[in-house]
Amino acid sequence: MSSTKTTKTKVGTKNWQPNLDITPEELKEMQAQVVDNIIIARVRLLLQHPFFGNMATRLRIQAADDWLPTAAVDGRNLYYNTQFFNAMNIQEIEFVIAHEILHCVYDHLTRREDRNPMIYNIASDYVVNNLLVRDKIGHKPSIVDCFQDFKYDGWTSEEVYDDIFEKYDEQELEALGELLDEHVDWEKDGQASGEGKDGKEENKEGKEGKGRPSYSKEELRKIRDEIKENMMTAAQSAGAGNVPGDIARMIKELTEPKMNWREILRQQIQSTIKNDYTFSRPSRKGWHTGAILPGMNYMDTIDIAISLDMSGSIGDDQAQDFLGEVKGIMDEFKDFNLKLWCFDTQVYNEQDFSADGNDDLLDYEIHGGGGTDFMCNWNYMKENDIQPKKFIMFTDGYPWDSWGDADYCDTVFIVHGHRDKNLQAPFGITAHYEESRA
């Protein structure tokens, strides 16, 4: 879901604000102590939470009193307000540093898309603060009423966003808590939160700011790559058991080689025709050894069923691309039986295709567009005595209730457009459609 809330929220109002009457001399003296405290907090993180400590050493410490009331991060720099950090003890500073690191690790800097910025920032803080409190990394600052609730533990920021977007209005959001830091829209394109109507940066007095940076989309892509490299290096330095489980899974996903959905689709279809070994056609690979090795005996006919989830989030172009790939695979074999249908809360337009038939798979007419009920596919197959050797579903990965019947037949889910690229169905094989795109 990527809806945009139209109401303006006042959730950015904080209980804590810096003193605007502080003199430059007082600020400079305070800043020296704050830098020492940040360094101490980083060392403590290195000793007690090595992943966070390693990540922290890769961030440059930058004072930003002219535009920043609390803290912020851009993937390269940790920005701080001197008075804010001076009002916290060392363990609270540890929490804030780790908080900024997690915004980088979870890619909160760029993955908001067209969602309401303030609501997405709240959702991101719930995700980050839950992990820090759960794993006892520093202490929550007492001067900020942070967004933190374990009912969202294990949720993605997009899932939290959808929940609070639907449930809470402006006043209710204000009552839930406040942002710990400033979530800056770092792109040069568009107007960031905190900008004036003309797009110029404004500081707390309404004047144009001096030090607040911005980046192009290309620069942000480079920063994202740097963050990923830093994550893997920090995890390696921290050692096994010293990386939070959520982050360890992300790193495993980044480092393990992946097959894209086209490769998986081809592999799964071909697996239905491998039957047994035979000596009727010896393998040429064994001729030079003087031994006769068996070849594969392939069944004459591929037998699969395919369903297209047309509940609204998958368009005709994606469906045609998917069918085009299926057709290309099928054309390689001398015979096949393929049943194809669409579904939302029920099955539509079931059609049979075979090698000697006159119907072209690419001429198939797509139907549907309502809700989503994955189980209707299994009900339909059972009612119509259809039990394919492989059932392949092209879906957005959002079942209304059950994913289906795990015991009925071998199933492959090709997932399109899901916000969680690590999503795996509870049974069968899962591949993500986008992973194959250029």
**Cα 194 to Cα 79: distance, rounded to the nearest angstrom:** 16
Residue matched to tokens 């071998």: 410
Please say whether the beta carbons of 61 and 40 come within 8 A.
no
β-bridge mates for residue 341, sequence order: 307
pLDDT digits (tens, 9 = 90+) for 201-258: 444 333 334 567 788 878 888 898 899 899 999 998 988 788 988 888 888 777 765 5
Is the domain covering 261-436 a CATH 1.10.20 domain?
A: no
pLDDT at 86: 97
- Between 9-23, 85-99, 122-136, the lowest mean confidence (pLDDT) is in 9-23
Domain ranges of the chain: 24-255, 261-436
pLDDT at 323: 85
What pLDDT sits at residue 301?
A: 60
Q: What is the mean pLDDT of the chain?
A: 80
The answer on pLDDT for 11 being more than 60 is no
Mean pLDDT throughout 150-177?
A: 87
Say what the pLDDT of residue 95 is: 98
What are the CB-based long-range contacts (under 8 Å, 24+) for 384-391? Answer: 384/350, 386/305, 386/339, 388/303, 388/304, 388/305, 388/339, 389/272, 389/302, 389/303, 389/304, 390/268, 390/269, 390/271, 390/272, 390/303, 390/304, 390/305, 391/304, 391/305, 391/306, 391/307
Tell whether the model's pLDDT for residue 277 goes beyond 50: no
Which pLDDT score, from 0 to 100, does residue 186 have? 66
Task: For residue 317, give both structure tokens.
Answer: 């172009």
pLDDT of residue 322: 83
List CB contacts of 176: < 8 A, sequence separation 6 or more.
122, 147, 164, 168
| pLDDT tens per residue, range 345-379 | 899 999 998 877 767 888 888 876 677 889 999 99
Q: CA–CA separation, 81 vs 170, rounded Å? A: 27
Average pLDDT over residues 151-170: 88
Amino acid identity, residue 386?
A: I
Kindly state the average pLDDT of the residues 16-32. 90
